[in-house]
Chain A
Amino acid sequence: MNGFGDIVTALCLLIGSGFVIVGAIGLVRFNDSMTRLHAPTKVGTIGIGMLLLASMIHSVTLGETSIHETLILAFLFVTAPISAHFVAKVNIHRRACDTPPDPVRDETWATLNAPANGHPPPPDTPDTKP
């Protein structure tokens, strides 16, 4: 049983390392900011997820079972889309990609409406919102 656990741990480690190296190569090789955004998400979810799973299986193999790593796993799975969303908003703000089409007369794209010099633009319409 000990040997079987070691083999499963090694398999999880190899899968995780494959995703880590693929994500790193994609981060360097892609040629657009928004395209580069999607490569490291594989590192954050599957790559590190497989490493944490290997850590859990290895602890079971050693006889001192710990499932604490599930906490890190859940935290990473929750926060990876949030940070990717923020980086995408930075790309839109810096015009590093094709800007989305103009919104229909509302303030939905607050990122693109940000002033360039740090001062808010003069209001062209009176603010009627409460």
Chain B
Amino acid sequence: MSFSAQLLDIAVIITFLALVAGQILSMIRLVIGPTAGDRILALDTMVINALGLVVLLGIFQGVQIYFEVSLLIAMLGFVSTVALARFILRGDIIE
């Protein structure tokens, strides 16, 4: 195994740890968040971090089949964030 492949493996592990730490810290903010805006923001960050985990899995396995998964996660995360914010702002999602 060459030096560059070892470096890539180490970078994948470090990125995985950073994303997991981001998920855990976002979950802490989701639990203790004093206002609803903080909880929405923590959920949005968790969706973004999950997207990063899927992309990282694709890099680790060296395949391209996780593209649709990450695109779907990005779209659903945006829609759910906007839906939660709309529900708090207007009391209804689709008026």
Contact = CB atoms under 8 A, between A and B. Distances in A.
Given A48-B48, A72-B70, A40 B41 contact: yes
Residue of B21, B28, B49 most packed against chain A (CB within 10 A): B49
B82 A9 contact: no
Contact of B4 (A4, A23, A47, A54): A4
A86 B85 contact: yes
A40 B45 contact: yes
Interface residues of B, number: 55
Q: How large is the interface on A (under 10, 10 to 19, 20 to 34, 35 or more residues)?
A: 35 or more
Contact of B38 (A16, A36, A51, A62): A36
A33 B88 CA distance: 16
Interface of B: 2-5, 7-8, 10-12, 14-15, 17-19, 21-23, 25-26, 28-29, 34-38, 40-42, 44-45, 48-49, 51-52, 55-56, 58-59, 62, 64, 67, 70-71, 74-75, 78, 81-82, 85-86, 88-91
